[in-house]
Amino acid sequence: MTDFHDSEGHRAGQDFDGLKALVTGGASGIGRAAAGLLAARGARVAVLDLDPSSVDEPLTGHRADVTDDASVRAAVAAAVADLGGLDILVNNAGIGARGTVEDNDDAEWHRVLDVNLLGVVRTTRAALPHLRESAHAAVVNTCSVAAAAGLPQRALYSASKGAVLALTLAMAADHVGEGIRVNCVNPGTVDTPWVGRLLDAAPDPAAERAALEARQPTGRLVTAAEAAGAIAYLASPLSGSTTGTVLAVDGGMQGLRPRPAVR
């Protein structure tokens, strides 16, 4: 079989050979799957997380809170020193929020925007000087279908992810001239510890899970591996002409209107 590779010799399957990546929120769920996949495809990968204690070889863990600029700068510097440079930043750390626009007080709005939006700003700001040294620089932001579709009881969360979507496009425009690509993924509901916690808190977890599954035309939740696959696609040097895009990984939730089955 002919080996597939790009013009610079990166082979498909090992397309991250020699590249260095940092994944925020990489100790759980989508971030953990993305860190593992990038490593399996040849990257050296560091994880930045509030609690990196579960991160093990070949990944390295760095403790930081994306709401704290000093801790982000220290963790990015330590990761870059360990890795020997930085080519890929995955801004994935995030938290949820529930309710309509009436339900969350100002403190909660500030807290969620601080993590979900300003977290992306802080890590990207710290990483940019290093990304500028890379010939294959890429930033991938974990956004959400909530940025593109109106979901009930998600006013604050949706606003935070809508801002991440707009920021992704603005950053892509700002940095395209220096060879840094910026894209985001919009997952639907993904089967991660986060969603497990949501289901556990529901009055009827089985009914809640069935409702979430039915909302996605595929009839099931997205897997963390599938979200990771999309992140790796955007981060890969094989996607060198892809910047400023929003990639849905939502089982068709945002774009499709299938007819309900007729009984």
Enumerate binding residues for ligand NAD (CB under 6 A).
24-25, 27-31, 49-51, 64-67, 92-95, 115, 142, 144, 187, 189-190, 192-195
Nearer to ligand NAD, 128 or 190 (CB): 190
What ranges make up the beta strands (E) of the chain? Answer: 20-24, 44-49, 60-63, 88-91, 138-142, 181-187, 246-249
The H-or-E segment that residue 149 falls in is: none
Three-state DSSP class for residue 22? strand
Nearer to ligand NAD, 192 or 236 (CB): 192
Least distance to ligand NAD, CB of residue 5, Å: 31
Question: Does 233 qualify as catalytic in the annotation?
Answer: no
Nearer to ligand NAD, 19 or 30 (CB): 30
Give the whole-angstrom CA distance, residue 125 versus residue 119. 10
Least distance to ligand NAD, CB of residue 33, Å: 8
Least distance to ligand NAD, CB of residue 85, Å: 22
Nearer to ligand NAD, 112 or 238 (CB): 112
Q: State the amino acid at position 176 in one-letter form.
A: V
Query: For the chain, first and last CA: distance in Å?
Result: 48
Least distance to ligand NAD, CB of residue 215, Å: 11
251 in the Ramachandran plot: left (φ > 0), alpha (ψ -120 to 50) or beta?
Answer: left
Which residues belong to the active site? 157
